Amino acid sequence: MTGSVANAALLQLQGEILEDVAHGVPLASIADRICTNAERLAEGAICSILTVDAAGRLHPLSAPSLPDSYSSAIDGLQAGPLAGSCGTAAWYAEPVEAVDIGTDPRWASYRQFALDIGLRACWSSPIKTIDGRVVGTFAFYYREPRGPTTLEREIVAHCVHVCAIAITHDEAQARINQLAYYDALTGLPNRAEFQRLVQNALAALPSGSVLNIHYVDLDDFKAVNDSFGHRAGDQLLDQVARRLTAIVGDADVRVARMGGDEFALMQVCADGESDGHALASRIVAAIDEPFDIEEARVGVGASLGVAQTRAGTMPLSELFKRADLALYTAKREGGRKYHFFAPEMEALVQLRLSLKQDLRSALAGGEFRLAYQPIVALASSELVAVEALLRWRHPSQGEVPPAVFIPIVEEMGLIGPLGDWVLREACRAAAAWPQPIKVGVNLSPLQLRRPGLVQNVIEVLRETGLPPDRLDLEVTESALLARDAATRLALHDLHDHGVRLSLDDFGTGYSSLQLLRMFPFDRIKIDMSFVRDIGLDADSMAIVDAVIRLAGELGLRSAAEGVETASQFEWLLRHECSEGQGHWFSPPLSDAELRRLLERIGSRDTPILPNAARTIRADRETTPR
């Protein structure tokens, strides 16, 4: 072939290759086309194109005329100063012309491979990017010892040039894909890629298999970010990603980062329920373990929502929505747990939305009132206090339990005004009662953190004329977990003013004895979940007994919540619990009902009896409200 014919052919090849690149033809096919054309132009040449990875290892890309066994033997070969023609060319970023493989020292370790299949010469050139990085090699082998002609050098130069364009373009494309479909911080698939993965998995789901989506959201990520900075936050997310990846470990589960502190897993399994539960509980447990970041050890939990489907039974958006609802439920229940989607979750969210809309007008429209539940000194059966419990009668929904609406009120930032109203109303009512019994008022965690709490309480006491020692503020353990100095000061300040403090729902939260040392409590209220188990569960009974003793040793009163039966009452009395509250004594009463009860007790000068519940109920039935 003459130089000019070859030149025209090379230009044509170059044009075709550029077109292939522009049309997104896969790199391997482009490389094949270059090899085949080069072999046609350079008679007797056997062409090979290798790529070089970031670690300097060689990988075959195209060598249509070489046996596969030879290519696979090269795969993974490390570039070096004596690594055959290609490995050496990649190492020095310079062309290497081994005129005789049989004698060339750079082939010392590899020559037998080549000689065995009749290869005697190999000239290899590095393929470089514009900035000089070696991304591949282009080689001509010959079956006799020989060096290149000028024309062959020209062919090689052209081929190296188009190879550089094709490989650089392929790298850029891979990088774009990485950015578009993978999360830069953790390297996990991102939301878009996760959706694509789920879609593909659903389309290929074997019959009888189930696809589970697990949505994961960290519980205290914001706190870590706020206290330790964003770098620490990033480290934490990366470690979470690693833990999740380590847990799944098999091909049927994929992990993705959906954004922020949200992750998602796709699980294809035979038994959606038991496999789903197993994975979800492993995730919750793994994220519960502490993380070491920036020389600090932090604990963040994870909340998890699981939704499942079989092939083609549900639109993707519905599946994701369900996982989200389940996650939301787990979060709302305090986190560090998982939930499977259940249809009633949807109704609950709807209810919450509509309640949210109605709450503002409820506050303005006076739909709230207080109920007062008697608290009895067990030893004397005297009514010594009541707890004020907030009630909301919704115009169409009827009574809404405080456990449902108080979290919404908090979310809406309305707990301040509502809490103020409760405090004022309870103190106002108590000041007018015929007996000087105490009144308990619940403070939510957010109320506790509001500045001006102490002044507000003192002001209300002054205005209503209620003596401070008749007000008993109930706070839960979770409200004190932050242990911030302001809360601590506020509670000590209130206590110094004579206000009483109770630790509410003891046993349900962290039950940290340290809290009892840090805050000036007068009373521990034992949560009703333990009281319910009296006579049924030895562990619960041991706990109740221990708390009563502990309170006694610290000079505090103990109160049992939710006393419903005579045997619970008797057991508590025997174990010297100071006070009891519950339906066995009395349900929560209206202000008018309570007044009547107090008047009756006062006039007859008889204490309330354990079976007062019956008396009061009878009283309610005969007295018009």
189 binds, among Mg ion, ligand C2E, none (CB under 5 to 8 A by kind): none
Please choose, from the candidates 56, 61, 35, 60, the residue with its C-alpha nearest in 3D space to the C-alpha of residue 47: 35
Cβ distance to Mg ion smaller for residue 212 or 442: 442
- Helix/strand/coil for 431: helix
What's at 293, amino acid-wise? I
| CB nearer to Mg ion: pick between 261 and 504 | 504
Query: How far is residue 427's CA from residue 620's CA, in Å, rounded to a whole number?
Result: 24
Given a contact cutoff of 8 angstroms between Cβ atoms, the answer to whether 235 and 294 are in contact is yes
Q: Which residue has the tokens 């609406």?
A: 405
- Cβ within 8 Å of residue 563, ≥6 positions away: 531, 569, 572, 580, 581, 582, 583, 584, 585
Q: Tell me if residue 145 falls in helix, strand or coil.
A: coil
Residue 504 in contact with Mg ion, rule: CB under 5 A: yes
Q: Considering the rule CB under 5 A, would residue 238 count as an interface residue with Mg ion? A: no
Closest distance of CB 547 from Mg ion, Å:
13
Convert residues 544-563 into a mask of x (bound to Mg ion by CB under 5 A) and - (unbound).
Answer: -----------------x--
Give the residues across from 557 on adjacent strands: 523
3-state secondary structure (DSSP) of residue 358: helix
Binding partner at 562 among ligand C2E, Mg ion, none, C-beta below 5 to 8 Å by kind: ligand C2E
Asked if 183 contacts 190 with a C-beta cutoff of 8 angstroms, the reply is yes
Provide, rounded to whole angstroms, the least separation between the CB of residue 385 and Mg ion.
Answer: 11
CB of 398: closest distance to ligand C2E in angstroms? 14
CB of 421 to ligand C2E, least distance (A): 9
Residues 6+ apart with CB under 8 A from 618: none
Of 412-420, 430-438, 467-475, 567-575, the segment contacting Mg ion by CB under 5 A is 467-475
Q: Among Mg ion, ligand C2E, none, what binds residue 601 when CB lies within 5 to 8 Å by partner kind?
A: none
Task: Calculate ∠ Cα 613-618-623, nearest 5°.
Answer: 125
Q: Name which of 255 and 441 has its Cβ closer to Mg ion.
A: 441
Residue 361 C-beta: closest distance to Mg ion, Å: 27
The minimum distance between CB 504 and Mg ion, in angstroms, equals 4
Binding site for ligand C2E (CB under 6 A): 373, 389-390, 401-403, 406, 422, 442-444, 474, 504-505, 528, 561-564, 581-583, 588
Least gap, CB of 621 to Mg ion (angstroms): 28
Nearest-CA neighbor of 436 among 602, 578, 585? 602
The entry of Mg ion, ligand C2E, none that residue 152 binds, CB within 5 to 8 Å by partner kind: none
Q: Is 391 or 600 the residue whose CB approaches ligand C2E more closely?
A: 391
Question: Which residues neighbour 559 within 8 Å (Cβ) at sequence distance 6 or greater?
Answer: 375, 502, 523, 524, 525, 526, 577, 578, 579, 580, 581
Whichever of 137 and 444 has its CB closer to ligand C2E, that residue is 444
- Pick the closer one to ligand C2E by CB: 401 or 452: 401
**SS3 for 161?**
helix
Nearer to Mg ion, 225 or 502 (CB): 502
Interaction of residue 267 with Mg ion, rule CB under 5 A = no
Site for Mg ion in 107-126 (CB under 5 A): none
d(CA 569, CA 571): 6
* Least distance between ligand C2E and beta carbon 197 (Å): 43
Segments in 141-299 forming alpha helices (H): 150-181, 191-203, 221-228, 230-248, 272-288
Nearer to Mg ion, 324 or 474 (CB): 474
Site size with Mg ion, rule: CB under 5 A: 5
β-pairing, 500-506 with 134-142? unpaired
Residue 591 binds Mg ion, judged by CB under 5 A: no
Residue facing ligand C2E at closest CB distance: 582
CB 147 within 8 A of CB 123: yes
**Residue placing its CB nearer to ligand C2E in the complex, 55 or 403:** 403
Q: Which CB, 63 or 560, lies closer to ligand C2E?
A: 560
Spatial neighbors of 250 by CB under 8 A, at least 6 apart, are: none
Could you tell me which of 442, 380, 405 has the C-alpha nearest to residue 576?
A: 380
Stretch of 24-32, 445-453, 473-481, 490-498 lying at the interface with Mg ion (CB under 5 A): 473-481
For residue 31, what is the enclosing H or E element? helix 27-41
Residue 505 sits in the site that holds Mg ion (CB under 5 A) = yes
593 in contact with Mg ion (CB under 5 A): no
Q: Which of helix, strand or coil describes residue 449? A: helix
Task: Give the residue, chosen from 329, 442, 487, 578, that forms a contact with Mg ion under the rule CB under 5 A.
Answer: 442
Give the CB-nearest residue to Mg ion.
474
Nearer to ligand C2E, 91 or 368 (CB): 368
CB of 386 to ligand C2E, least distance (A): 11
Contact partner at residue 64 from ligand C2E, Mg ion, none, CB < 5 to 8 Å by partner kind: none
**Least distance in Å: CB of 206 to ligand C2E?**
48
| Cα distances (Å, whole numbers) of residue 350 to 345, 358, 487, 532 | 9, 13, 35, 32
522 sits near Mg ion (criterion: CB under 5 A): no
Closest CB 581 distance from ligand C2E, rounded Å: 6
C-alpha atoms less than 13 angstroms from C-alpha of 308 in its C-beta half-sphere: 21
Residue 323 binds which entry of ligand C2E, Mg ion, none, CB below 5-8 Å type-dependent: none
Q: Which is nearer to Mg ion, 214 or 557 (CB)?
A: 557
171 or 420: CB nearest ligand C2E: 420
The DSSP result for 528-578, as a single string, is: HHHHTTTTT-HHHHHHHHHHHHHHHHTT-EEEES---SHHHHHHHHHTT-S
Q: Which of 474, 477, 522, 593 binds Mg ion (CB under 5 A)?
A: 474
Summarize as ranges the residues that interact with Mg ion (CB under 5 A). Answer: 442, 474, 504-505, 561
